[in-house]
Amino acid sequence: MQLHICGLAIFVKMHVIASMSDSSKEAANKPSEATTRLWIRLMRAQRLLLAAIEQDLKAADMPPLAWYDVLWELVRTEKGRLRPFEIEERTLLAQHNLSRLLDRMESAGLVCRETLPEDGRGRWVLVTEEGRRVQARIWTVYAVAIERHLGGKMDDASATALANALERLAPGA
């Protein structure tokens, strides 16, 4: 009987120790209250800022921000062209969304697509001169919107500190 009680005590002690290490593992895998608050604030701020800027673009009769993002990435390349997967990587647009977006932008005369001469399946997306003009026009509204909704609410030191902190979360983004 003593052996059984001793064995039970060892089993209970091992279970308690295992539970403690499991709960400490869970605690180590869960964000702190401060981290959770940061996550919520980042997500809300992103949604609110993007919605406000999209509204400013719409009010100025400009194309949506995604069009600007694609045009900006094309304009900043040496030859004004990228492969669709490169645009996808740089803009974080999903492939199926990007394909439809490029169709609309091509219909509007802002981009054109060319087949790669060495590979009949691959394509380049090239910015047109009209695309360059539209990108510059969008920027005039976009820049004012960024200043109104973000820059006007933070001084440069705070903006730099926040940008540096975000860089640690997504290096090179």
In CATH, what number is assigned to the domain containing residue 114?
A: 1.10.10.10
Q: How many domains does the chain have?
A: 1
- Residue pair 91/126 in contact by the 8 Å Cβ criterion: no
Res 16: pLDDT: 46
Average confidence (pLDDT) per 10 residues, the chain, 173 residues: 43 48 65 94 95 97 96 96 94 89 97 84 93 98 96 94 90 75
Nearest CA among 171, 151, 147, 170 for reference residue 159: 151
Task: Give Cα separations from 158 to 38, 46, 117, 163, 168 (angstroms).
Answer: 16, 17, 49, 8, 16
Alpha carbons 87 and 108: distance in angstroms, whole number: 18
Res 29: pLDDT: 87
Residue 18 maps to a domain: no
- pTM for the full predicted model: 0.77
Res 81: pLDDT: 95
Residue 75 maps to a domain: yes
Residue 16 maps to a domain: no
Res 11: pLDDT: 43
Res 27: pLDDT: 65
Res 12: pLDDT: 43
Strands 111-116 and 119-127: antiparallel
Residue 38 maps to a domain: no
The first and second tokens of residue 11, run together, are 């089993």
Give the structural domain span for 94.
49-169
Residue 67 maps to a domain: yes
